[in-house]
Structure 1
Amino acid sequence: MILLAAGLVNRLLGFVPRIVLPRMIGAEGVGLIQLVYPFMIVLLTVIAGGLPLAVAKLVAEADSRDDPAAMKKTVRGAMTLAVSAGLIASAACLGLAGWISSEVMTDSRVHAAFLCMIPVLPLVAVSSVWRGYFQGKQNMIPTAFSSTTETLVRIVLSLLFAALLVPYGLEAAAAGSVLGMVAGELAGLLVLWQQVSSDRAAGRKSRPASVERQASASDRGVFRSLLGIAIPVTGSRLIGSLSYLLESILTARSLAAAGLTAAAATAQYGALQGMVIPVLLLPGALTYSLAVSLVPSLSEAAARQDWATIHKRLHQSMRLAVVTGAPFIVLMGLLAEPLCQLIYGDDSMAGMLRWMAPIAIFLYMQAPLQAALQALDRPGTALFNTFAGAAVKLALIVQLATQPQLGILGAVIAIGVNMVLVTLLHWISVARLTGFRLNPFDFLKVMTAMVVMSAVALWIWNGRFLPADGLNLAASSLAAVVVYLILLMAMRMIDGHDAARIPLIGRLFR
């Protein structure tokens, strides 16, 4: 819930630049940023993709044994690996920046933005290790505080730098926005550093010096353990990141093959990845929080062979993912035009949002299932499932987006098929591994509530009872969500026990 609160705040705040930037630099400028972003994600995945999870798992195990020396060696070893990889990648990018911008990317105007992106690599490398440390100790507050600070600084400086550089052209404005991301990462890292310093000081006061010098695993053993966990996880995430990069390249080239100019292709891809997908991912703040907190919880239960707890945690996470994602799906599907008009001042991408909304439920379920596979020592299974989905997606983009009658809609269909396929493969894998099953009547109850809330939302929106479209949209959304929650409580999908577990306000339901 701590990560959920931070995630929701960060995603809502993150919509500020999503709303302002398209109005400032247009879909084409957003497209330039989106062309750089997938390449950065690939590099960050190589540098630190699986390290946070590996650190969290080893720290959680050492903490359960009360072995502070092992925790210290784990963090030190992971930091050595992450910083070395970050510096090597930064040097390589700096040396190859011209070639990457002109040959790999589909628009040479990304060169300045690409150069501004390079300092992010070592910064994220260090912060990922510290976040893994706190995750392993099941202390989510430093990560939440750090991510919120990073978001605030990134928003302010991205918009400021972009506004200052707009007179110099879209290329300069996009570079300024990326530079704001670098500043945000630095601010988040400084917050984590302060939290780590406080944690170390508290640890020294609570433990005698003799305990600090306990013998534990050798440095070589620590590296072996870290890499043994990190490499398969990194491989799984790298497939996703590479498919994201190839998706950006293939989509732009396929749209060009369908008859669009490079500028138009960049604009359409910018609308899809920079405007539609962020709206679709907003409910994913919960599933991300569930995935992060599931890893240490399921790891401990698996070590005890406690299958009852594993089933309970899986059921809780999947039910929350479905219940919280469903109302967003209804509102995004039915009210796509007014939503896009309100957020971006342009509803031209509403058709893409309406196509993708019903499929988003699979995306919200995917993160907890993947976290379960990783926590239960099946990262290779998650790797294969991700690879299969990525291969199908890329093949479909080439097949569909090159058709003039489909265009960008072909890429939308391909991404949707990927979401469904990977989630189903993860589900089958988890079910075979644990025997976990979800009650089909839970889905029926949620679907019933969705149908009723759809009718309420459309009735209020079509009635236009208020003078402004924004007010009508807010009223229809709020009324529909209230009806949805009442129906779920009536059908006992949400009960007093669930509400009582919510921090701060939970005491009201006890």
Structure 2
Amino acid sequence: MRSFYKGTFLLIITAFFGECIEFLINMVMARELGEKGLGLFMTVLPTIFLIVLLASFELPISISKFIAEKDAKYHQSMLHQVIKWTIIFTIVLTGIAAVVIPLVPIFQSYHPILKWLVLFILPIISFTSIARGFFMGKQQMGKIAVSNFLRKIVQLGMLVFLFQWFSFDLDTSVLIAFCTIVGSDIVVFLYLMHMFYIQYQRIKKGNNEALSSRLIWKDLLSVSVPTTGLRIFHALTHAIQPFLIKGALVASGISAANATEQFGMLAGIALTIGFFPSFIAHSFMTMLIPTVSKAYANGDYHKLQKLLQQVMVITVIYGVAAVGIFYFYAEQLTFTFFHSSKAAVTVQLLWPYFLLNYFIIPMQAYLIGFGLLKDAVIHTIWSTVISYTAIYYLGSLSQLQMGGIAIGMNLGAMILALLHYMTICKKIGFSVWLTPVNRIQ
């Protein structure tokens, strides 16, 4: 338990500074791109994340789970197989992407170089995922923390330098914003692959035993396939979300240009503020996946119960404090950091959405550790269908508009949090009040 909290604390500290930098990044983009440019950036971003997601194939999660559960003598065999097949997978994926990406309609509205930037980043993400998963499984969180911090500081430095010394039109400015993301990923790739190479050479010199490739990929794919499916579903729904929200707002009677600006304020300002404390939840998730996987494999339900209690209590403490500040100081926050107080009402309306997501993120780590990925997928589908239906119906009402959008988002988060929570409690033998009951296998 001490190593768990030590690693979590390290991740939280570095993630805090990383989120501060992320906040500055969004401030720079909001000022340099303007509301329209920010809306364009946020509209295409989910589509790019969907493409990049395929390159990672959720290897960080599946590899970290494998390393946490299996004896160290099998690690070299697994890594050898993963590296070999990642090379093949990346070549095939890049070839397919080179044909498909130029045909995707959304890219026709952006600078022509953007589609090639996405193609360039695919192999970088694929191989970075191997190193990230290895260090997560080994619980060497210092390297994960450094890589996360590097990504943010490099992106901020590039943004400030380029926009300070050069002047661009709107299309080029949006392209430059994406260039900084690619540049920061290259730096992270070089750092993690260097550290991974050093560790891999040490592993090769140890007493290793081979596992059949069939067994290795059975273990890895049992996690990667459903997790990737879940992430693809998330990415698809987030890619649809900008058009759904803007369509609902247009149906409510406002202009398309105004709808784009309102979505830009929602995604670029309100969500940036509301998800600022989520670095704590993501830090818990990073540590919980290997910890829960190992404890569950060993049948240590007492540890699982104790961890859940402690994570829930900590989340209540920081989550309630955070959303309280966001609610009562929304106007000051939006004006001070983004020079726009228009998004303040949206921040206030979404406080349940933010708070519930602080709980959802670590609970996903429990479901992954238990191997309950099918449950996670079903929960996500149900909550998204209900949420998106409410978003469009309520958001299209002239008397609600953005208020209706917020209600739909809050409803989806509430359903997802409750489904995750009840499933976890049943699995480890807890009531919803975190008191022991008979555990159901």
Question: Under a length normalisation based on structure 2, what TM-score does the superposition of the two structures give?
Answer: 0.90
Distance 1:158 1:405 in 2: 39
CA distance 1:2–1:57, change in 2 (3 Å): same
Q: Which residue of 1 aligns with 2:65?
A: 57
For 1:401 and 1:89, how far apart are their aligned partners in 2? 38
Answer yes or no: is the 8 Å Cα contact 1:2–1:141 preserved in 2: yes
Distance 2:329 2:384 in 1: 30
Rounded Cα–Cα distance in structure 2 between residues aligned with 1:260 and 1:160? 37
The answer to whether the 8 Å contact 1:150/1:185 transfers is: yes
Identity %: 22
TM alignment of 1:394-405, pairs within 5 A: 394-405=388-399
Q: Residue in 1 aligned with 2:190?
A: 190
Post-superposition CA distance 1:157-203 (Å, at most 9, x none): 13434556643x21110000101100000101111012112223444
Give the match for residue 236 of structure 2.
242
Which has more radius of gyration? 1
Does 156-165 or 362-371 show the bigger shift?
156-165
User: How do 1:7-406 residues align onto structure 2 when only pairs under 5 Å count?
Assistant: 7-62=15-70, 65-67=71-73, 70-100=74-104, 103-104=105-106, 108-109=109-110, 112-162=113-163, 166-167=167-168, 169-203=169-203, 207=206, 211-212=207-208, 214=209, 216-406=210-400
Q: How has the CA–CA distance of structure 1 residues 84 and 153 changed in structure 2, closer, same or farther, with 3 Å as cutoff?
A: farther
Deviations 1:119-154 (A, max 9, x none): 222211211121111111111111111111111111
Deviation at 1:409, TM superposition (A): 2.9
Per-residue CA distance 1:50-103 (angstroms, 9 max, x = gap): 3211101111223xx231xx2123223333444544444444444344432xx3
Letter in 1 for 2:279: A
Query: What is the rounded CA distance, in whole Å, between the counterparts of 2:90 and 2:394 in structure 1?
Result: 37
Contact 1:17-1:155 at 8 Å conserved across structures: yes
Matching of residues 442-461 of structure 1 within 5 Å: none
Correspondence 1:434-445 to 2 at 5 A = 434-437=428-431
Q: For 1:455-506, what per-residue CA distance to the aligned partner results, in whole angstroms no more than 9, with x for missing partners?
A: xxxxxxxxxxxxxxxxxxxxxxxxxxxxxxxxxxxxxxxxxxxxxxxxxxxx
Say if 2:422 and 2:432, in contact at 8 Å, map to a contact too.
Answer: no
- Partners of 1:275 and 1:48 in 2: CA distance: 28
The answer (yes or no) to whether the contact 1:258–1:404 under 8 Å persists in 2 is yes
Q: Which has the higher contact order (CA 8 A, sep 6+)?
A: 2
Structure 2 partner of 1:446? none
User: Which of 400, 404, 419 is equivalent to 2:413?
Assistant: 419
Structure 2: stretches of 5+ with no match in the other structure: 1-8, 436-441
Structure 2 distance, partners of 1:310, 1:241, is 30
Distance 2:167 2:14 in 1: 31
- Whichever residue aligns with residue 5 of structure 1, its letter is I
C-alpha RMSD over aligned residues: 2.2
Q: Deviations over 1:414-461 (max 9, x none)?
A: 2221111101110111111112346589xxxxxxxxxxxxxxxxxxxx
**What's the secondary structure of 2:211's corresponding residue?**
coil
Following TM superposition, by how much is the alpha carbon of 1:260 offset from its aligned partner in structure 2, in angstroms?
3.5
Letter in 1 for 2:266: L
Question: CA–CA distance in 2 between the matches of 1:256 and 1:429?
Answer: 39
- Which whole-Å CA distance do the structure 1 matches of 2:410 and 2:40 have between them? 23
Kept after mapping to 2: 8 A contact 1:165/1:172:
no
Cα drift, residue 49 of structure 1 = 4.5
